[in-house]
Structure 1
Amino acid sequence: MVARAPLYPIHRRLRRTVASAVCAAAAVFVFGAAVAQADLGPTPTLTPDRSCYVVGQPVQLSGSAFAPYRSYVVSIDGVYLGSRTTDGIGNFSVPLHPGGLPAGAAEHYDLVEVTDGTTSAETNFTLTRRAGFRIANLTGATRTLTGRFVVWGFSLTGVSKPLYLHYLNPSGKLRKTVWLGTTGGACGYLRTVVRRIFPFTVSAGTWTLQVDTQQLYSRQAPGPRVRIRVVIS
């Protein structure tokens, strides 16, 4: 019997070899990228002292890992605010005054950019009005009104909170309490779906609507609370 040479799995070996070569090349590339990144130094960063500000509050902005003793420019949403100089290790801390909000806007997402001509960094924060609410997109007859409840500024720490709407009849007595939803975003914002403004048969007179974070009604409820009056004729 003639001895036959073993049938080696050449294709599999080639595949393993190619795969190994690709992995090795990728490892070299990643290592090279890591070395290049290390040569560039740390990436500049910006940090505001909070994520939510009420209109009129200054923003304390800190920056790090910029070039030492380098002049830098600060802008918000592309609007130039001014320039300063970094310290000996490329850091800075500067107060900003972002200004107000457009008419009709309850809050705005502001983008901050800092550049020293060579490197730049971005961050953001939310600017809001003081706690408030309004009824938007009103449609329908007086006693069958529908619309959206828009609430803002009810959680300046960004922690989600439940919101309740208390209806007080023209005599000042509690008629009904409903759950509106849960706040979101950095400043405690909520925009409900379209719904009945008065989820019951409403009588003529001036109704008071109070929004707060308490399920049980109290005229002096703790935390933010806002009232509006709605006249039903």
Structure 2
Amino acid sequence: MDSSKSTKNTVGRPTAGTSASQAPLDSSSSAARTPASNTERRQRVVDAIKRRIILGEIRPGQRIIEAEITSSLDVSRPTAREALNQMARDGFLIQEAYRGLRVADIEADSLLEIARVRVALDTEAISEILADQSGQRMAVLEAAWRKFEKATAGSDPLALHEAHVEFHRGIWEAADNYLLMRIWPVMEAQMTIVLAYDQFTRTNPARAHAIHAALVRAIRTGDPAQIRTALDVHTMDSAQELALLAPGSAE
């Protein structure tokens, strides 16, 4: 095999290779100069790149250049490299031989694959919440829902995105399942890229709120059939709609 050819990885799955966008990061913003530990500085870089992905300033497939990260965020090369490597491990970025890093791509097959996995894992989390006779796990979920409702009352795209991701993290946290929380960073990466693309292509906060409200109502009933229907509408139907808008999908 010719080692000069890279393997293209989309969100959630590897596919045959094509080149990535060469558009660099916007270097118009810089991080505040405050004393911080190595971990804090690394996380600051991760958060800054995630924010740009969420706001559509960095698009799926776009190349990430370490030197520009170092300059725009005023951090050292080792800090930038550690942050980028962390994001690659979590699935936000893809490492390509001889090409460097780029944001994971959006493709129709990947969207549907991620959706199927999410439904399965959310179903498991909800089952464990409902199995708790004390009601403590359900109380955690209800708290996550209240935070979501409060955050989605506004129109800030970053706040809306973070509320969406945190609500789903809240479901997994409420399940009190060690393995789910271990794999959450990987799922968060997939959700961040997919939801950012969703917000960019069809911003509709009212629709998002209605779908999540229906899911919460279904969970409160404790009826597996209603819960599965709500999850399918929330996750699978949304993914199928978004897949039609993804690059390379059939018109």
Give the TM-score normalised by the residue count of structure 1: 0.24
Higher relative contact order (CA 8 A, sep 6+): 2
Structure with greater strand share of residues = 1
TM-score (norm 2): 0.23
